[in-house]
Amino acid sequence: MNNNAIKSFRDLRVYQNTYDAMLTVMKKIIPKLPESEKYDLKDQLSRSCKAIPRLIAEGNGKRHQKFGFQKYLDDAMAESNETIVSLEQCRDIYGIEKNLITKLVEIYDLASRQLYKLAMAWSSFKRPQTKPSTDTSIPND
């Protein structure tokens, strides 16, 4: 396991995996759905798979807020679970890319578990106490 410090949301394995999976869904699954699913399954799957890496990135920007970050992780986990159901519907209703969808479901299932563990770890994370600054001056620009 790589123990390098996380400098960006792009360093998170869960972000990398869900971004790559999203590209696969958008390029290989969604175009194969029938036009009758344009406003239902196509739309829903498209939105949910794209939302996951976005929520991870946005949440990472709020990581200084304990509950702000957790909310985004919870939302990303919910979108991941929704993506799993939508993918299974594509496979089971339309028979689209059965093996690929099974692999994608495994990726999103792992992502949901990783997001849960990240949220739990974050909830128990204690930041070191810092002394409040006594400098009240306004910097000159």
Amino acid identity of residue 133, one-letter, is: S
Residue 124, helix vs strand vs coil: helix
70 lies in a domain? yes
Question: Cα angle vertex 22, ends 101, 90, to 5°?
Answer: 35
131 lies in a domain? no
130 lies in a domain? no
9 lies in a domain? no
Q: Which domain holds residue 120?
A: 15-124
pLDDT computed for residue 1 by the predictor: 47
For the chain, 141 residues long, give each residue's pLDDT as a single digit of tens: 455 677 788 989 999 999 999 999 999 999 999 999 999 999 999 999 999 999 999 988 877 776 778 899 999 999 999 999 999 999 999 999 999 999 999 999 999 999 999 888 877 765 544 455 555 555 554
Note whether 70 and 53 are within 8 A (CB).
no
60 lies in a domain? yes
- Please count the structural domains in the chain: 1
Amino acid identity of residue 4, one-letter, is: N
Amino acid identity of residue 112, one-letter, is: S
pLDDT computed for residue 62 by the predictor: 79
1 lies in a domain? no
| CATH code of the domain containing 67 | 1.20.1440.60
pLDDT computed for residue 81 by the predictor: 97
Residue 81, judged by CB atoms within 10 A of its CB (0-12, 13-18, 19+), counts as middle
Note whether 15 and 115 are within 8 A (CB).
no
Q: Whole-model pTM above 0.85?
A: no
| 6-40 confidence digits (pLDDT tens) | 778 898 999 999 999 999 999 999 999 999 999 99
pLDDT computed for residue 7 by the predictor: 78
115 lies in a domain? yes
